[in-house]
Chains A and B, each alone.
Chain A
Amino acid sequence: MSSKKSLHICHLYYDILNLYGDNGNIRTMEKRLAWRGIDSEVSRISFGEVDKTEKYDIIFIGGGQDFEQELLVKDLFTYKADWLKDEIEKGTVILGICGGYQMLGKYYEAADGTRVDFLGGIDVYTTACDKRMIGNFVYEYTKEDGETFPIVGFENHNGQTWLGDHVKPLGKMIKGFGNNGEDGTEGARYNNVFATYSHGPLLPKNARFADELLGVAYERKYGEKLSPLEHDMEDAALNDIKKQLGC
């Protein structure tokens, strides 16, 4: 048995919710751990039973297309709902992006009023909107200690997500639409659930945010802080697009 420290990452619905380069997030977590001398194990989970005795430090849920949504929701309620809600309440680090974000919430309401029930793991719901909120966007994330940093990504959704009383926004919009294009919020934070519309490869160029997630998971497991790691090339990409957006 190796004494090397290791985080266990679950890539949930890896073969369906992978529409926009979502693998880049897994890759970033693996590499940023490896560069610190920490191992990682990635379990790729699809449809069917999930082993509830397996301990995951981070669960990642990406974005997908409508084609599989019906199947996905069915599988979610049949096999995953109790387990996932339990993980949320236990404080497991969960990153939900775009479709994965909406799915963690309570429901999606279409333009004609019909509802698709989702997990109900976090207090948000989504309503259909006739405009597509699309483009590069920037928001500001605030850490527990009050330190702030910008997150840059690409959003592409026509659902407007509304936050309930039991969640906080993940960030404050600087440029773009965010949750609904109206209230200036972006994403949601509840326990250690980090949910955002910043779809696809969010983590590579937002290294500080990646380290935030990894740091929370690492501290929960080992009771110590994650060592710092440089992110110059990551910042160069982030700052370049921020500049192009005039922020």
Chain B
Amino acid sequence: MSFRATAAVWAGKFTTKILKLAGSGGTSLPGKVVLKICPDILGHLAKDMKIICVTGTNGKTTTCHVIRDMIEAKGCTVFCNDAGANLLGGVVSAFVGAATFGGKVKTDYALLECDEAALKAIVKHFGDLDVTAVVTNVFRDQLDRYGEVLTTVNKIRAGLEQLPNVKLVLNADCSLTTSLNDLPHSAIYYFGVNGPLYEGTSSDISDAVYCIHCKTKYRYHYHTFGHLGGFYCEKCGYKRQEPNVSLREVLEWRDGSEVVEMEVFGKTFQAEVMLPGGYNLYNALAASVIAHLIGLPEEKMISVLGGLTTHFGRMEQVQLGDSTLNMVLVKNPAGFNEVLQFLIQQRPDGNIVFGLNDNYADGKDISWIYDVEFERLTEAAAGAKHFYFTGKRAYDMQLRLKYADFDTEKFCVEKDYKTLITRLEQSGEQTFLVLSYTCMLEFRDKLSEFIPLEKYAR
């Protein structure tokens, strides 16, 4: 450990302390201070560790939570960056937080949620280290930021290219993710779902219609959602790889969990996955690959999957007077469609709140709400009492639902969070809140004036 690196760690810890005293929730500033002093700090701090990076468009946070539980169930120690603090600064802050004043990190694993575009900078000094990289999926996300979906793939590629000995864990059902399998690696593992997840899964909205290698239209044995499924290209032969960890069947959809039959490296067993919605099953599968790789026995893996707590899956339940609020974050069409699938199963009979902002972190362009298949929810939500719309683009969201044939008599635009919260409290109803990122932050800030809330990652 060089003097510079040690000094950087001290400076980082000092900044963190000051921020804590000031009551700020900021997590990336200490990282910036550290990098100023020692740009290759991560190479120093990560030297003797096993590193797991989780990247991809959707499911990073949930996958990290499940992996963390798997590692702890094995009896190993791990530190993670805070959810949302997934740029270089946030990762550095996490390392500094985990390091001793002597500049040593004493946990067995570093588990890092990495923004796709930040991956390259994060792994820059990890070239010779023991790194496992999980890519959850690639979907269209905030197109005004990344331009097109292939740009996202290329950003992940640019990161992984720096890791010639990486162990890759890829989503077999995602043609964009699987295309990373031509990168140098020491091992490669796939996870996937072996059949359609829901009845009548539509494939109208696809982020990858044409073969990434030869531009021929993909054919599918089945779809799970979005462009995920049993894809193959008739022309060049590019196709879904046989997964090492797969979901064979959903035996039962329960309220907030699923009973599934899964196969993990050749062994088949049943498990209850305590995460709501089919999209979260992919996250459970990805984490199960890691569980196997770290040598966690199957029975412990099953017990982890069955013991996950509810704020996973970015769905959070709180009680507001007699009203139960279920809050869920939406970032892009694929994620939103999966939330709708979850709502369809719930058959809501209370309130549904849709909140949409168009700040930078939400995506300035709100066109994507027309790629969300609200039409599939219309009938299942016919018993709901009110549809509330909030956030800067509340009126656009309201209009979207008008064109999806929702009952406009039940519509109410309420941009003032305080008034909205009061109305929800007075209703005494089960309420689902589906909110874009900054709308979630603003809403929770206001809600915390009414009831105590856990800190939300920023």
Contacts and interface: CB of A to CB of B under 8 A. Distances in A.
B198 interface: no
A27 B408 CA distance: 17
B399 interface: yes
B402 to A, nearest CB: 5
A19 B144 contact: no
Interface string A153-176: 010100000000000000000000
B17 interface: no
Interface in B408-438: 408, 411, 413
Given A15-B209, A71-B210, A233-B408, A201 B370 contact: yes
B292 interface: no
Nearest to B206: A15
A100 to B, nearest CB: 14
A241 interface: yes
B402 A241 contact: no
Residue among B204, B371, B411 with most chain A CB within 10 A: B371
B155 to A, nearest CB: 15
A20 interface: yes
B178 interface: no
Interface in B374-432: 392-396, 398-400, 402-403, 405, 408, 411, 413
Interface string A1-40: 0000000000000011001111110011001000000000
B371 A21 contact: yes
B365 A23 contact: no
A131 to B, nearest CB: 14
B393 A199 contact: no
A28 B403 CA distance: 7
A68 B210 contact: yes
B365 A20 contact: yes
A204 B399 contact: yes
A65 B215 contact: no
Contacts of B408: 233
Interface residues of A, number: 35
Nearest to A47: B217
B297 to A, nearest CB: 44
Interface string B135-164: 000001001100111100000000000000
Contacts of A22: 370
Nearest to A237: B395
A66 interface: yes
Contacts of A23: 204, 370-371
B458 interface: no
A21 B392 contact: no
Contact of A19 (B148, B369, B394): B148
A65 B210 CA distance: 12
B387 to A, nearest CB: 12
B395 A201 contact: no
Contacts, number: 95
A205 B369 CA distance: 13
Nearest to A201: B370
B399 A233 contact: yes
B241 to A, nearest CB: 22
A237 B396 contact: yes
Given A67-B148, A68-B210, A200 B365 contact: yes
Contact of A20 (B368, B393, B402): B368
Interface string B354-374: 000000000011111111000
B35 to A, nearest CB: 28
A21 B148 contact: no
Given A23-B370, A68-B215, A204 B364 contact: no
A135 B140 CA distance: 18
Nearest to B404: A27
A237 B391 CA distance: 12
Contact of A16 (B209, B365, B413): B209
A27 B370 contact: yes
Contact of B150 (A65, A134, A199, A201): A65
A21 B369 contact: yes
Nearest to B209: A15
Contacts of A16: 209-210
Interface in B207-245: 209-210, 215, 217
A162 B4 CA distance: 56
Contacts of A49: none
A134 B364 contact: yes
A236 B413 CA distance: 10
A212 B368 CA distance: 24
A156 B365 contact: yes
A47 B408 CA distance: 38
A44 B150 CA distance: 25
A27 B365 contact: no
Contacts of A86: none
Nearest to A153: B367
A204 B149 CA distance: 25
Given A20-B365, A205-B396, A65 B149 contact: yes
A234 interface: yes
Given A15-B206, A19-B143, A21-B371, A135 B150 contact: no
Contacts of B204: 23
B403 A237 contact: no
Nearest to A234: B399
13 contacts: A15-B206, A16-B210, A19-B140, A19-B148, A20-B365, A21-B367, A134-B144, A154-B365, A200-B365, A236-B395, A236-B398, A237-B398, A241-B396
Given A24-B367, A154-B367, 4 more contacts: A21-B368, A28-B403, A31-B403, A71-B215
